[in-house]
């Protein structure tokens, strides 16, 4: 296979991932509306899970094919992009309101999730080489299910459904769900295989490819979903998508991935982990600056510039 053909197939795989995630999110959101879930809950769970599926699929395929080095880099890069770029661009379109429950629950859980993988990846609990093993993966999954339980339980306090969304007919809902799964499967196969090939051909290690190229591509569904939500002035979906996706990426995606094969961690990526911690702190700071609990357009510009700096740092240092 030539590098040019591999690059074409990689782009084709990204397209399949985006289409598949979009179809799956539409179908799943329709189910959520029928279940009378609040807009924030739909964003935190159903939409976030749907837009996190590209990361899940790419990580699973990469682990099965013997390239687990992509996994942690993919999640760190995706989560950093979610906060700095996706939240930044969304708030530039329309200032993002952050609910009290997100400040008390979702943002702190994001910090806890990031801290958990930092401890696991740096062998705080073990004295062996830097990996996240299956036992730690089970711990991550347990934390993820605990978070989902608390989230759905909180829906009872805010049962209204979003006015801007309507449930699709059942036939169309099932079709969207089916096409979404097929698109994600094909896209995951193409991306994992060709990203591995190009990493070797370009002389890049798997962690760097996962942190930059793959992370950017698998975060495109979150970007598109949050931009659409911002254009519709639906802050709950926009912020819920980002916060929920980041939490599920760590707890569920890395948890499942580590059950397949131990995930190696390059200690050089501790710098990117610190940047992810900083991104979470900056996001929290923007909520409490200015009027109300909002991320303003100006703060959105600052977040976006922060992502540009993160990418340059990741590529050249």
What is the predicted pLDDT for the residue at 159? Answer: 43
Closest of 247, 212, 235 to residue 87, by C-alpha? 235
What is the predicted pLDDT for the residue at 145? Answer: 94
What pLDDT, in 10s, does the model give residues 23-56?
A: 877 787 787 778 777 777 877 887 788 778 778 8
Crossing angle between the packed helical segments 107-121 and 270-288, to the nearest 10 degrees: 170
What is the predicted pLDDT for the residue at 217? Answer: 72
Domains by residue range for the chain, with CATH:
3-316 (1.20.1420.30)
What is the predicted pLDDT for the residue at 206? Answer: 67
Specify the pTM: 0.79
- Determine contact, residues 57/21, Cβ cutoff 8 Å: no
What pLDDT, in 10s, does the model give residues 50-76?
A: 778 778 888 888 888 777 777 888 899
Closest of 112, 316, 64, 61 to residue 214, by C-alpha? 61
- Determine contact, residues 226/84, Cβ cutoff 8 Å: no
Q: What SS3 string covers the chain?
A: CCHHHHHHHHHHHHHHHHHHHHHHHHHHHHHHHHCCCCHHHHHHHHHHHHHHHHHHHHHHHHHHCCCCHHHHHHHHHHHHHHHHHHHHHHHHHCCEECCHHHHHHHHHHHHHHHHHHHHHHCCCCCCCCCEECHHHHHHHHHHHHHHHHHHHHHHHHCCCCCCCCCCCCHHHHHHHHHHHHHHHHHHHHHHHHHHHHHHHHCCCCHHHHHHHHHHHHHCHHHHHHHHHHHHCCCHHHHHHHHHHHHHHHHHHHHHHHHHHCCEECCHHHHHHHHHHHHHHHHHHHHHHCCCCCEECHHHHHHHHHHHHHHHHHHHHC
What is the predicted pLDDT for the residue at 161? Answer: 44
What is the predicted pLDDT for the residue at 254? Answer: 94
What is the predicted pLDDT for the residue at 35? Answer: 76
Identify the segments of the chain with pLDDT beneath 50. 156-164
What is the predicted pLDDT for the residue at 29? Answer: 75
What is the predicted pLDDT for the residue at 88? Answer: 92
């Amino acid at each position: 296979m030539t590098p040019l053909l591999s690059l074409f197939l990689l782009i084709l795989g990204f397209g399949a991932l985006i289409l598949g995630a979009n179809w799956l999110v539409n179908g799943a959101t329709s189910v959520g509306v029928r279940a009378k879930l609040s807009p924030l809950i739909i964003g935190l769970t159903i939409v976030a899970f749907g837009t996190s599926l590209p990361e899940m699929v790419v990580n699973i395929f990469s682990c099965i094919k013997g390239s687990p080095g992509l996994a942690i880099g993919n999640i760190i890069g995706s989560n950093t992009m979610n906060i700095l770029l996706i939240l930044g661009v969304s708030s530039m379109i329309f200032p993002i309101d952050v609910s009290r429950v997100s400040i008390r629950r979702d943002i702190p859980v994001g910090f806890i999730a990031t801290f958990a993988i930092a401890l696991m990846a740096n062998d705080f609990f073990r004295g062996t080489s830097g990996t996240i093993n299956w036992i730690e993966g089970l711990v991550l999954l347990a934390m993820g299910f605990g978070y989902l339980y608390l989230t759905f339980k909180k829906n009872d306090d805010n049962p209204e459904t979003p006015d801007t969304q309507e449930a699709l007919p059942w036939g169309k809902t099932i079709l969207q769900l089916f096409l979404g799964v097929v698109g994600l499967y094909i896209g995951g196969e193409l991306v994992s295989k060709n990203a591995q090939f190009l990493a070797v051909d370009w002389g890049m290690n798997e962690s760097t490819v996962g942190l930059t190229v793959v992370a950017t591509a698998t975060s495109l569904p979150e970007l598109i979903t949050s931009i659409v939500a911002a254009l519709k002035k639906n802050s709950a979906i926009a912020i819920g998508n980002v916060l929920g996706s980041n939490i599920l990426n760590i707890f569920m995606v890395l948890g499942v991935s580590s059950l397949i094969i131990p995930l190696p961690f390059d200690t050089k990526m501790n710098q990117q982990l610190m940047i992810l911690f900083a991104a979470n702190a900056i996001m929290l700071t923007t909520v409490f600056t200015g009027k109300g609990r909002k991320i303003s357009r100006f703060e959105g510009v600052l977040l976006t510039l922060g992502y540009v700096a993160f990418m340059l740092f990741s590529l050249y240092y």
